[in-house]
Amino acid sequence: MREKPVITLHYCTQCNWMLRATWMAQELLHSFSDDIAAVTLEPGTGGVFSITAGEVVIWERKRDGGFPDAAELKRRVRDHCFPEKTLGHLEVKK
């Protein structure tokens, strides 16, 4: 059995992005509650907003152009951590 990943949301306190980070953490916990070890919130400054799974950057605000919606974030976490897992209605192509 492989080790469960820890997802970390690093957010800027100066930009007041804590609410956004906690909402995204809640979405991840709802979708992957049995699959992940933890979701952690890491306060920072300077406009930082990144989401990592271990050492792998799943989303980075400056690199990826803003913030992910819940569906995109869940797809990226799933693709990296649990490629065999289905996301149900999120899998439907637009």
pTM of the model: 0.89
Please tell me the distance from the alpha carbon of residue 78 to that of residue 85, in angstroms, as a whole number.
Answer: 7
Rg of the chain on CA atoms, in Å: 13
Q: Strands 6-12 and 38-44: what pairing?
A: parallel
Token representation of residue 41 = 């919130």
Task: Write the pLDDT tens digit of every residue in 21-80.
Answer: 999 999 999 999 999 999 999 999 999 999 999 999 999 999 999 999 999 999 999 999
Which CATH superfamily includes the segment(s) 6-91? Glutaredoxin (3.40.30.10)
